[in-house]
Structure 1
Amino acid sequence: MNAFPQTIHFIGTNTPRRVEMSVRNLAVEGEIPAEIEGAFFRAVPDNAHAPMFEDDIALNADGMIAAFTFTDGAVDFAIRYVETERYLAEKKARHALFGKYRNPFTDDPSVKGVDRTLANTTPVWHAGRLFMTKEDGRGYEINPHTLETVGKWDYYGALKSETFTAHPRVDSETGELFFFGYEAGGLCSDDIAYGIADKDGNLVSEQWFKQPYIATIHDFVITEKYAIWPIFPTTADLDRIKAGGAHWAHQQDLESWIAIMPRYGKVEDMQWIKGPVGVSCFHEVNAYDDGDLVHIDLCLTDTVAFSFMREAGGIHRDQQSIQGALTRWTIDMSKADPQIEERPLGPPGDLPRLADADQGRPYNRAWYLSMNPEAQGPPMLGGPVGANFNALLRIEPGNGRLTMMAVPPGAGISEPAHVPSSQEGHGGWLLTVVDIPNGPPGGNPADYSSELWVVEADAVENGPIAKIRTGLALRSQVHGAWVSRARLDASKVR
């Protein structure tokens, strides 16, 4: 194609911006707390070239790494492409060479064997290094100070898995990183690799096991005792892919599963627990042990949220018809045949955020995005599913207490990052980008301004205490990560 399609994947906050830049001293309204020192990194898919196919999707865009850097109350912004093998091949050719989402059989023959990952989903910080990840390949290391691409990361050649999840989990007490890769043995393999890296960034364990069907496993969770993979029936089929079809298709009549094993154990100790039929989840909030009970809190829906995955499976439903809730699955591991007990915790939503210190442990609050039931007018177009969230929720899962921060009419909000405070009793802050229409809601969907809001994490209902105005329309973020000044100063790459 010579131009970008005018579909939901290329309009609104999905409008291609295709600009690498740096801007110093952004305008600040309000006062930034002195403890917010460091960088907020964001994964931003943005097409460097028009796609090969009209029906391309937002998730198939080149990865960009963006950073809001906080220094003594001043904020700078920068964004650069992740120079993956794929990006560099297309940069040289000056046009797209890679075809449909996760389908190498639709690529130009000239790039056969070139790494297809876009590294466009999640910035991950561990052991002094910053990575950009996407679950169809290995991560790419990024210089956290310049945003230059260092190269692919394979733990000094030790990693055997061909893939690395976009959602590893870091235990804040031990410093270990727990991760996995699905399709670990290559396209449409049913292999899952489970890895552990120690606090110094060395790979100390990698074990492989099989899943019951080839599912997209976007996220997983750990507790102090267990590693847990919720598996949902959005599946891959090699014959369909070879015929030029979709990599993923949701199977509404297929059961879900929980795979659970001791987190330092052997895969031979894995237990498989059958879950509800047809449900879907892309992000879990957290999991923790409660005696013999294991609680898993997840953003559950009655079918898959991505329309292209539904349609490939023959499911034709409007986005507004999807039902779901923030849901708790509880498993009693003392039983010979453990089952899932389910109860709702809160309204539907996604893109949850947890304080790093609570990872894998009992927790008293979390944050996630949802839709404001009192919003006037349609949501802002864009984002991975075509419509942006317009409310930030804070939930206390123990008692169900819920508070909300809404955004202006027609605006959209991105996944927040949590910044901890050293002050006793202070819950820290949230950083979240809000995209605000420049005209009346329903006007030009590409005409908006992006602001970074600073919000009291335990008082979201009060709105932002500071706004950092970019003067730019930023493309939709997928995930983000906060890295403190101390960690930045101790980075392995300078």
Structure 2
Amino acid sequence: MANFPETPAFTGFNKPGRFEADILDLEVEGEVPPHLDGAFYRVQPDPQFPPRLDDDIAFNGDGQVTMFRFKDGKVSMKHRWVHTDKWKLEREAGKALFGAYRNPLTDDESVKGRIRGTANTNVIMHAGRLLALKEDSPAVVMDPNTLETVGYTKFGGRMTGETFTAHPKIDPETGDMIAFGYAAKGICTRDIVYYEISPEGELKRELWFELPYYCMMHDFGMTRDYAVFHVVPSIGSLERLEKGLPHFGFDTTLPVYLGVVPRREGATAEDIRWFKAPNLFASHVMNAYNEGTRIHFDTPEAEGNMFPFFPDVHGAPFDPMKAQSHLTRWTVDLASNSDEFESRERLSEMVGEFPRIDDRYAGRKYRHGWMLVVDMSKPVDLKGGSSTGLLMNTLGHVDLEAGEDKSWWVGPTSSLQEPCFIPRSADSPEGDGYIVALANRLDVALTDLLLFDALAIEKGPIATIKLPLRLRFGLHGNWAPGEWLEAAANRSEPIAA
């Protein structure tokens, strides 16, 4: 009998769903533009079985991918498990075999040495394949139309690292996927490998180097000429795992580093330049770009740790005020003889995270960005509990050229999941398009998919796609245009891992 813990990670809006679904022609309030053709993919952690140990963090759930297919003014939904090795082994056993989040020392002996990845963090389409991602393991290939799992990929067997990031970037000019893996030689190692993967899905470059210290390397930045890695002290160690502590903990005594890796052919680890800043917290990256030797790196920055589930290594209590993050531009100059940041400039007064852009401007100078915002001036009535622990109650739009912020509040009994930008057409101007974001209706335990005019979010959604069910909190997702899906469906050979 399945009995989940009566803890925040498994109750209220976080109660495990454990279902798959197909729903045609979802109910819509408002109007979905009939020319909108494509799919919005997103992924959520959802435990297949109760945790092996007494409790767990929500990030350790098995991956479930949701596909929202937009066509002819209608939206349909498909929801499937990702059949990772972990999912299949536990399915066969009928119980959890893998233990605590990223701690193999807590696993059942029968699965020692098996891939522990849950594929629950991001999902993105590239080279005709849908990739479900978790940063502690290789990418999992899925069919973008059926959501059937194909299997793990090492990109033609050429990938030599053990891990693949949950936040790859697509170069809009070349179509290359730019990525990396940390702990690439094994758990808690400082080794990191940089990848370049062609539009056809072939790994064409690896560059190995070491981090100043081992830490959670969740995201990175890409410019035309460089890959940019921020090293923030959410640190881990084998000693922590042996003591049964959370894999990561925040260390307020360590500096932050920014590593600049040349993307040019022939560059080596000796060509990497490291810059240093005082202790702070940053996780996701909105965008990065370079103007000659000057590199701009835009990230929500907080004074202190934002992750209460990865506590302070020195025992300090979590400080929610220091956890408030503001979009900030870090600038460094490769022509400088100094290893210090040139500047850190606040770009918005909104307190927010989960930043997104018009991905056609990834790695380029850009104007528009969107993110989830915590607006503490608005009333809150969490009848069903917060889905994430952070009350992301507002959608924000940052106009960097005009220096203006716009926002839309979702109401006192709802919260939002990460937004995603959809261009109106392939050649429309930057920001001309739509934003999609899921709304958690906490009071009634249901989920809506909201569609906004991207440059007028303050007017509210132009369409509310109503789901007759509850999706758990999701992490990340991306849009794929309809022609990509049709090409994948019409290919002459089966999709390969």
On whether the aligned pair clears a TM of 0.5, the verdict is: yes
Matches within 5 A, 1:78-117: 78-117=78-117
Q: Aligned partners of 1:297, 1:394: CA distance in 2, in Å?
A: 14
Q: Secondary structure at the match of 1:172?
A: coil
Task: Note the aligned Cα RMSD (angstroms).
Answer: 1.7
Matching residue of 2:316: 315
Matching residue of 1:274: 276
Q: Secondary structure at the match of 1:194?
A: strand
Post-superposition offset of 1:195: 0.6
Matching residue of 1:155: 155
Post-superposition offset of 1:13: 2.8
Residue by residue, what CA displacement relative to the aligned partner does 1:192-230 show, whole Å, maximum 9, x if unpaired? Answer: 000101121110101110111111100001111211000
Per mean C-alpha deviation after superposition, the further-off stretch among 243-252 and 465-474 is: 243-252
Matching residue of 2:440: 435
Matching residue of 1:65: 65
Residue by residue, what CA displacement relative to the aligned partner does 1:42-74 show, whole Å, maximum 9, x if unpaired? Answer: 111101111122331000000001111112112
Matching residue of 1:394: 397
Q: Aligned partners of 2:226, 2:147: CA distance in 1, in Å?
A: 35
Per mean C-alpha deviation after superposition, the further-off stretch among 311-320 and 362-371 is: 311-320
Structure 1, unaligned runs of 5 or more: 439-446
Task: Report sequence identity in percent.
Answer: 37
Post-superposition offset of 1:378: 4.9
Matches within 5 A, 1:240-389: 240-264=240-264, 265-277=267-279, 279-311=280-312, 313-340=314-341, 341-346=343-348, 347-378=350-381, 381-384=385-388, 386-389=389-392
Post-superposition offset of 1:369: 0.5
8 Å Cα contact 1:332/1:338 also seen in 2: no
Residue by residue, what CA displacement relative to the aligned partner does 1:76-115 show, whole Å, maximum 9, x if unpaired? Answer: 1111110000011111111111111000001111111111
Q: Aligned partners of 1:323, 1:466: CA distance in 2, in Å?
A: 31
8 Å Cα contact 1:302/1:322 also seen in 2: yes
Q: Secondary structure at the match of 2:286?
A: strand
Q: Secondary structure at the match of 1:412?
A: strand
Counterpart code for 1:468: I
Post-superposition offset of 1:319: 3.1
Matching residue of 1:456: 453
Q: Secondary structure at the match of 2:36?
A: coil
Question: TM (normalized to structure 1)?
Answer: 0.94
Post-superposition offset of 1:334: 1.5
Q: Secondary structure at the match of 1:343?
A: strand
Q: Secondary structure at the match of 2:462?
A: strand
8 Å Cα contact 1:300/1:325 also seen in 2: yes
Residue by residue, what CA displacement relative to the aligned partner does 1:437-480 show, whole Å, maximum 9, x if unpaired? Answer: 34xxxxxxxx4221111100000000000111111111111101
Q: Aligned partners of 2:386, 2:187: CA distance in 1, in Å?
A: 29
Q: How many corresponding residue pairs? A: 484
Structure 2, unaligned runs of 5 or more: none
Residue by residue, what CA displacement relative to the aligned partner does 1:338-371 show, whole Å, maximum 9, x if unpaired? Answer: 4211111112211111111110000011100011
Give the direction of change, closer, same or farther, for the CA distance of 1:113–1:403 in structure 2 (3 Å limit). Answer: same
**Are 2:191 and 1:191 aligned?**
yes
8 Å Cα contact 1:155/1:202 also seen in 2: yes
Q: Secondary structure at the match of 2:278?
A: strand
8 Å Cα contact 2:285/2:355 also seen in 1: yes
Matching residue of 1:441: none
Q: Secondary structure at the match of 1:473?
A: coil
